[in-house]
A and B are shown apart, each in its own frame.
Chain A
Amino acid sequence: MKKSLVIVVVALMLLAGMQVSAAEPIVVGAIVDLSAATALWGQSQARGIEMAIEEYNAAGGLLGRPLELKVYDFKMDVQEGITAYQRLANQDKASVILGAPVSNLLLALAPIADQVKVPIVGEPSDQRATTKSPGQPWPYIFASQATCVDYGETAASYAIYELGLTQLAVINNKGNAWADEIAEAFIAYAKEHGATIVSREAFNWGDTDFRSQLSNIQRAQPEAIFVPEYLQEASQITRQAREMGMDMVILGPNSYTPPMVELIGSAADNVYFVNNVAFDLPQIKEFTARYVEKYGIEPTVNAYFGYDNAVIALEAIRRADSANSQEIRDALEKTENVQGLIFNYTFDPVTHRTDEFIATVIKIENGEYVTVGQYKPVKK
């Protein structure tokens, strides 16, 4: 027993020695949820990141050094997310960190990153995560995605100008910041553009039955219902609405991406949703096929973002020609024409986000996702 222990220790030391002699890897960190309610997204995102890192490593790494990915679970807990960030930055000496698919962690990390000075690339749709004060960004946070306001406005604009629907209802979880921000933007845009919000219903975390709210909506006779919600809630609301004979148009965010149809079947018909990803792009199709082959499961949209965030960060390392966090940050700010799966990314140095939001509107018809096309909201 003791002898074998000695052998293991010696072997480990040898291994450690060998690693030092080879080029030291550049550490890329990632903070995702692997164990709580959004584990499906977190895992998808982690795998997307992993695929990007593997590609770069297969091409010889960066700066002549291999890349090492460290993924930490934060179980949707802000405190754990903060310690994970500190650990990646201080213990693992990560050069750059890829962030969680939810905004609230990045809201907490923005000021911390100001002190620790390791940049984060994520996709927070809450604009406060990237904007310190109007016109001034948080220096170390970058987002590959548009804001909640963009999503809400796009959905409203599409309903009013493309579908010609002006009697609108909105239902969302008042406790879900993401959902509420999108809902408020939708309502503000709709009112400004001559539509009427005939019903506004709310629910709370943990609710599974929305029939009471839907009865109120039904009575208000809207032409469309906007449901800016997470997968579970959105699927339930849509299913229960259809059950009650409400077959009007339902508008939504990217929660209606797969596996929505798999879950609620024909209830998903006549849904239009604003998506950040155009599924029929060739690079998306090709990536999806590789992902399915590798992991044996369909990716959620978070895989594409994970991949793209990694590419944005790694290209910044290449441009900076350095693994120094400060220099990577400076390079990230100058991100220009970096081709990812979803977009060609150019960051606005004032907002630290993609400078242009191109939404794809997708319709669900007979259980199929039909891409209607790219759409930009009509501005007054």
Chain B
Amino acid sequence: MLVQQIINGLSLGSVYALMAVGFALVFSILKFSNFSHGSVIMLSAYLGLWFSNRFDVGLFPTLLVCMIGGGTIAVIIEKIGFKPIRDKNGPLIYLFVSSIAISMFLQYLMTALLGGRFFMYRPLLKSSSWRFAGITIPIVNLAMLAASIVALVFLLYVLYRTTIGIAIRAAATDLSTPNLLGININMLISITFFISGALAGIAGLFLGMSLNVYPQLGGLVLKAFVATVVGGLGSLGGAVIAAFLLGLLETMITAYIGGAVTPMVSFTVMILFLLFKPEGVAGLLGLSSGSATQKL
């Protein structure tokens, strides 16, 4: 029983983690909560659905299309919704508000276009779960777990071991520094959004496969927001670990106290945690991060 609940918690945590890693990337570089991340997830889910049905292809081609599609959508959102504000030196918080308006717009748009219909992927996997010794492991969630960890390792490598990563981190401390060094800041930001969008694409495909595809699918991004903040100091590792802890926490409360009080208990635990560990999960684990000043 406990084993199954731990697996349940990790599988829920994988969903949160996969969303959180892309969310935290923009959060740590551009220092704002990008709620349009949820819309990219939602749109990618539709894209993958259309692609896999239209061309009758399997999991991996669909995954690739979702990643490229998600990345492109995120860059387009940046160019239309954020760049004009950056160009006019609008306050950071307007980027956040713009991201919220964009996510509302895209959700309403898909509802209007498709009449609020629900869709489902045809089976891209042979079976949806493994069962042995009375324990069930959902395969899609396992894939999400793997994807979020691979993505994290990849991002940490790029950010800390490559020139472009160093430039991106320099941009994170001060948007004018790379300009002085002769690096195109808009290019750096586009790359950041593309990677974040590609991660949203992966999340979109897997979420679409395990849930249904519908306009409100992106709403789960709120959990990524929670995980990213609790993760602390814009740390990617912190956000991913916080996402798993959040999944475990919610599952354990639901299993042993009752689902009716889960929000109450889990938020209380989180606030208490932040009171005693103001550096967040990142601080708890001694993870470092590119920048220390975080705003929303």
Contact = CB atoms under 8 A, between A and B. Distances in A.
Interface in B12-38: 12, 15
Contacts, number: 100
Nearest to B15: A209
B124 to A, nearest CB: 13
B61 interface: no
A334 interface: no
Nearest to B16: A209
Interface in A162-190: 174
16 contacts: A38-B116, A39-B215, A40-B118, A202-B258, A208-B15, A211-B8, A212-B9, A212-B250, A215-B5, A215-B8, A232-B211, A232-B214, A235-B118, A243-B136, A244-B129, A265-B120
A32 to B, nearest CB: 11
A344 B129 CA distance: 47
B129 A243 contact: yes
B98 interface: no
B194 to A, nearest CB: 27
A262 B121 CA distance: 10
A203 B254 contact: yes
A16 interface: no
A330 interface: no
Contacts of A297: 115, 117
Contacts of A243: 128-129, 136, 138
A203 B259 contact: yes
A216 B255 contact: yes
Nearest to B247: A209
The 4 closest A-B pairs by CB, nearest first: A39-B116, A40-B116, A202-B260, A212-B254
Contacts of B259: 174, 201-204, 207, 212-213
Given A35-B108, A243-B128, A174 B12 contact: no
Contact of A208 (B211, B254, B262): B211
Given A206-B222, A209-B15, A244-B129, 17 more contacts: A34-B111, A34-B112, A35-B112, A40-B117, A42-B116, A201-B258, A203-B259, A211-B12, A212-B12, A215-B1, A215-B255, A231-B118, A244-B136, A245-B131, A259-B117, A264-B120, A297-B117
Contacts of B4: 215
B118 A39 contact: no
B220 interface: yes
Nearest to B264: A204
A244 B212 CA distance: 18
A37 B116 contact: yes
- Interface size class of chain A, counting residues whose CB lies under 8 Å from the partner chain: 35 or more
Contacts of A206: 219-220, 222
Contacts of B136: 211, 243-245
A204 to B, nearest CB: 6
B44 interface: no
A370 interface: no
The B interface, classified by DSSP as helix, strand, loop or mixed, is helix
B173 interface: no
B104 to A, nearest CB: 10
B256 to A, nearest CB: 9
Contacts of B262: 203-204
Interface residues of B, number: 39
A257 interface: no
B5 A212 contact: yes
A95 interface: no
Interface in A6-50: 34-43
Given A236-B211, A245-B131, A209 B12 contact: yes
Contacts of B263: 204
A219 interface: yes
Contact of A263 (B11, B118, B219, B220): B118
A206 B250 CA distance: 13
A219 B1 contact: yes
B219 A262 contact: no
B220 A208 contact: yes
Contacts of B119: 263
Contacts of B190: none
Nearest to B4: A215
B288 interface: no
Given A39-B111, A43-B115, A215-B1, A232 B255 contact: no
Interface in A206-230: 206-209, 211-213, 215-216, 219
B19 to A, nearest CB: 12
A212 B5 CA distance: 6
Contacts of B212: 232, 235-236, 263
A262 B120 contact: yes
Contacts of A207: 259
B111 A36 contact: yes
A218 to B, nearest CB: 8
B251 interface: yes
Contacts of B254: 203, 212-213
Contacts of A263: 118-120, 212
Contacts of A208: 15, 211, 220
Contacts of A202: 258-260
B268 to A, nearest CB: 15
